């Protein structure tokens, strides 16, 4: 029968053994707090963008497209209605797409999706809007009933076409400048890798 001292000694050895095995175990509980990801934490109104040329042009485009859409919606009767329907579709699409892009850029939501080329996306939208607004305004100018709503829609259609054209020109410049910077960065990385490889070969002649 074991005495109390032997039992205490055995328990002490067991606790020490468990501590040692626990310390050597690779599965250690972490004491670092887990911080939840706050996806909406970076959303803020970018006043610098709204004050820039692109922000101002976007707001003007949305306003003029909306006015043109309202003008064309006030037409109650038309025959033929192809020009009216075409202009209605183009103006409505421009309000929605350009308005969404304006919201994305002004709230910095594009930084949450960095794998999308937002400069190219903006360029495609502005170029397509320029072409379709010009075409729909031209068709409506040729096929109309000389009503006040149709004439107003044609005027605002050509106005927003000019604004989209300016935005397209600036977007092309920005896209080319971005591609130039990216190409220069890739060339710099390639030259740095070549220099590092050449230095390693010189330091270790047995690799040659």
Per-residue pLDDT of the chain (208 residues; tens, 9 = 90+): 445 544 444 455 444 444 444 445 544 555 555 444 444 555 778 889 999 999 999 999 999 999 999 999 998 888 788 889 999 999 999 999 999 999 999 998 888 888 888 889 999 999 999 999 999 999 999 988 888 899 999 999 999 999 999 999 999 998 888 775 554 444 455 455 555 555 555 555 555 5
Q: Which two tokens stand for residue 184?
A: 């220069």
| pLDDT at 80 (0 to 100) | 81
Could you give the residue ranges of the DSSP H alpha helices within the chain?
A: 4-24, 47-51, 53-73, 82-106, 118-142, 148-203
**What whole-number distance in Å separates Cα of residue 196 and Cα of residue 117?**
31
Q: Which two tokens stand for residue 36?
A: 């939840």
**What whole-number distance in Å separates Cα of residue 40 and Cα of residue 14?**
51
| pLDDT at 154 (0 to 100) | 94
Q: How far is the first Cα of the chain from the last one, in angstroms, to the nearest whole number?
A: 76
| pLDDT at 204 (0 to 100) | 58
Spatial CB neighbours of 2, under 8 Å, sequence gap ≥ 6: 10
| pLDDT at 82 (0 to 100) | 86
**CA nearest 104: which of 91, 86, 87, 122?**
122
Instruction: Flag whether the pTM goes above 0.85.
Output: no
| pLDDT at 137 (0 to 100) | 95
């Amino acid at each position: 029968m074991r005495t109390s001292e032997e039992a205490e000694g055995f328990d002490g050895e067991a606790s020490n053994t468990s501590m040692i095995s626990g310390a050597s175990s690779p599965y250690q509980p972490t004491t670092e707090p887990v911080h939840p990801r706050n996806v909406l934490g970076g959303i803020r109104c970018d006043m610098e963008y709204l004050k820039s040329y692109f922000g101002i042009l976007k707001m003007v485009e949305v306003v003029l497209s909306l006015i043109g859409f309202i003008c064309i919606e006030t037409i109650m009767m038309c025959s033929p209605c192809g020009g009216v329907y075409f202009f209605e579709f183009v103006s409505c699409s421009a309000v929605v797409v350009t308005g969404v892009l304006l919201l994305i850029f002004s709230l910095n939501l594009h930084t949450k999706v960095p794998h999308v080329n937002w400069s190219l996306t903006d360029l495609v939208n502005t170029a397509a809007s320029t072409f379709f607004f010009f075409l729909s305004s031209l068709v409506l100018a040729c096929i109309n009933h000389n009503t006040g709503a149709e004439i107003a829609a044609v005027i605002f259609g050509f106005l927003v076409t000019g604004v989209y054209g300016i935005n397209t020109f600036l977007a092309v410049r920005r896209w080319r400048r971005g591609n130039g910077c990216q190409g220069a960065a890739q060339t710099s990385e390639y030259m740095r890798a070549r220099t590092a490889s050449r230095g390693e070969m010189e330091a270790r002649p047995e690799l040659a």
